[in-house]
Structure 1
Amino acid sequence: MTDLVLLRADGTTASVALQEAPHFSKPAGPLTSRTAYAAAHVVPKAWAENVPGAPADIDWDATLAFRHHVWSWGLGVADAMDTAQRNMGLDARATRDLIARSAAEARSVGGAIVVGVNTDHVEDEVISLDAVIDAYTEQLHFTEDAGAGVVLMASRHLARAATSAADYERVYRAVLESASRPVILHWLGAAFDPVLAGYFGSTDSAVASETVLRIIGDNADRVSGIKMSLLDAQAEIALRARLPKSAAMFTGDDFNYVGLIEGDGATHSDALLGAFAALAPSASAAIQALDADDTARYRGVLAPTEALSRQVFAAPTFYYKTGVAFLSWLNGHQESFSMIGGLHAARSLPHLSEIVRLANASGALERPELAAARWSTLLTLNGLAS
C-alpha cells in the first residue's frame, strides 16, 4: 500500500497509509428519497491569463465534463452559483456562457439543472431597488430562455439598497411575478459573503425567517423551495418546520448536512451543496442508501465526509472554492490545480494537506494513487520533502 505524505503546520512531514477507493455503484435509476444538487465549480485554461481581476478564460471541455460526472451519479447540477466563483472571478460574460452551455449539456443527457440568477452584471455597486428588480429580471429571463431552473440568489445590490424587510418583500414580489415557473430562493450567510450580512432585513435569523416566510407565503405558486446557507442547523430546522408543503428546504449547510438531510422524522432537508461537488460518489451512495431505507449505511457513507467538508469550508469560508477545485484536481477531473482569478493561492499548503488527510480517511479520493502522486508533486514543486 502506498504511503501518503502529509505536511504539518511547522513544515515537517508525516506519512499515513493510502486508503483504497470505496466501491460505490452509480444508481440504476433516479434518486428518489431526496433531491440533491451539487453546486459545481469551473475549470480555467491553465495557460490563460486567469489572474486576479482578469476576465475568466474557462476550459469548457473540462468544466462541462465535470458536470457530466455529477449527473452520472444521479445528482443534479446547481450552476453559476457561488461555487462557480460568482462575485469572485466569474464575470458577466462568462456567467452567461456557463449558463447557456450547462443548460444545453443537461438537455443532452436529461440531467437536472438549476442555475443562479443574480444582479451581478450591473457594475455600479449601489443602485436603486427598481434597478435591482430590473437586473434580477434580466438574468431571470435569460436563464429561463436557456431552459434551466432558477435559484434566485442573494444579491449584494439588494443587501446594500434595502433598508427594511419590506424592501426585500417588494423586490422579491416583483421579480417572482416575472417568473414563468417556480424558483428556489437563496439565503447565503455572511460567512460566505460578508456583504450579505443582515439579508432579509435582520442579522437575527429568527427575525429574517419571518420575512422569508412572508415572501414564500405571498408567492406560494412561484416558489418551490429555499436554499439556506447560514451554517446554523437549528435555524434551518426551525424554518423548514414552518415552510408550506409546496416549498422544500434545500440545505446549503456544508458543516451539518448529514443530520439535516436525514431529517428528524417530521421534516428533512434536500440538498444544494458545494460540498457535494467534491463528494458526488459519496453523496450518491448515501442517498441510494436512504432510497433503500438503510439509514445506517447512509450515515456510514456520508458522516465521515463531514469533517472533510468542514475543513474545505473553514474560515474564511468564502475561500472554500479552492478546496473544491483542489479535490477535483486530485481526483483527475482537471489537469491543473488552477482557478480563475488566481484563487488557487487562497489556501495554504498545510490547509490543503489536511484536506488530503481527511479525503483519504473518508473515502473521497476517487483515484487514490493519482491523488497521492499529484499531491507529492505539489509538495516537491514547493521544495518540500515528499
Structure 2
Amino acid sequence: MKQLVKIIVFMTVCILGISVLPWAASVPVIRVDAKNKTGKDIGVELGRLIIDRFPDIAKSVDSYLESYSSQDRFNYIVRRRLDAVRSSVDRRYRDEVDGMASLLVSSDRNKIGDGVLSSDEFWFFQLIPDIGRESSCSGFGVFGECSASGGPIVGRNMDWFTTEALRGIQAITVYEYEKNVLVNIGFAGYAAVVTGFNNRGLFAAHLDSPMGLPYPDPPQRMHSAVFEIRKALETEGSISRAASLMRRQRYPFSHNVLLADTRDVQVLEQVRGEPGRLRSAYSPVRIDISWDKPCQIAVVNFFALRGYWNHVTETCRWRRFEVLAVFDRYHKAYPGDVMKIMLDTKTVCYDSIFRDRTVQSMVFTPEDRKLYLYTVPVSGVHPPNPVMEEVKDLIP
C-alpha cells in the first residue's frame, strides 16, 4: 500500500508539475506577530527575526545595490526621487522600515558597495519599483467554467534583475494581525509587496509597464505602488475594493497589478497620471493584439485595454499565453495546468514565459489559499525541470 502511495505521488509530480511532498519550498518563512503592535514594534521584531535567519543581510542588500546602480545614479535618485515617494508611504509602514533599519543600518554615509547600509540605501531597496523600476514579469489566470474547481487559479512569474546576494535572501514574510494575515512573497527585509495575498483570498502582484514617459522631474509627491499594494492586501478582500483603493493615486511609473479573489482574476492597468482601469477577461483589447479567451486572462509588461496606444513591440509572451489558454467548460484547468504554463520555456519570436531571469514562479488558488512556489537557486541557474512546491501552513 505504501509503495502504491509513493507511485501516485511520483506520477502527480511528473504529470502536473506539483510537489505534494510533505516538506515546504526551500524559501524561508518569517512569521511576525503584528497583533496590537505599532509599526516600529513590528519593524524591530522583524529585524531581529531576519538577522537570526540572515546574519549578513545588510551586506547582501548593499551588494545588490552596488550591482543595480552606479554611485552617481544612486546619488541622483536619492536626491531627486527618494523623498518624493517615501513621504507618501503610510506612517505605519515608514515606522516599520525605520524599525528594521534601527537594527540593520550602521552607517550615515551613502556609499554603495561598502558592506554596510545607510538609511537611504535601505529605503532605496524598499522603493526600487517606484524610483528605479524593475520589469519583465507576467501572469495568467483562469476562473469560472474554465476552472475544474470553479474557483480562480492565478499564476505569476517575477523576472527581476538579481544577484547571488539578493537570491540568497529570498523569503516569505507572514504578518499576523488581529483579524487579517498578510503573506508577502519576496525578500527578507522587504516591507513593500511585489507579490502577496491575504487570509481572505485576495492576491496581488506588481508588474512594470513602461510607456517611454520620463520620470516626473522636478519630482512631485507620488505614491509608492508597492506600498499601496500592501495596504490593499491588509484592508480589502475583493478585486473591486482593492482596485478602488489603488486606482485613485498618482504613481511615478506606469504599471499593472494582477489581482485575484475568490471569484475572478483581473488586471488593474495604471497609466501614470491617470486613474487606473480594470481589465477583465472580456474587456476589448487594443487592435494590434487579440484575446478571445473566455474565463482566462493574461498580463505582461504592457497595457492591453483598447484605447491605449501601442507603447511596446514586445508581444511574444502575450502570443504564447494566447496559444496556451485552451481551457473551456469541456477542458477545465487544474493548478498543475497553470503551473505548466508559467514554467513554459518555448521561445516565441525571441522570448519565453519562463525565463533565465525568472526569480520566482508561483500559482495561487484563492478559495483554499494554497500557494505553489518555485524560487531560483542562489546560483541563478534553473534546474533542468523546475518544480513548484506547495508552501503549507502560511495562513494560521
TM-score with structure 2 setting the length = 0.28
Greater per-residue strand proportion: 2
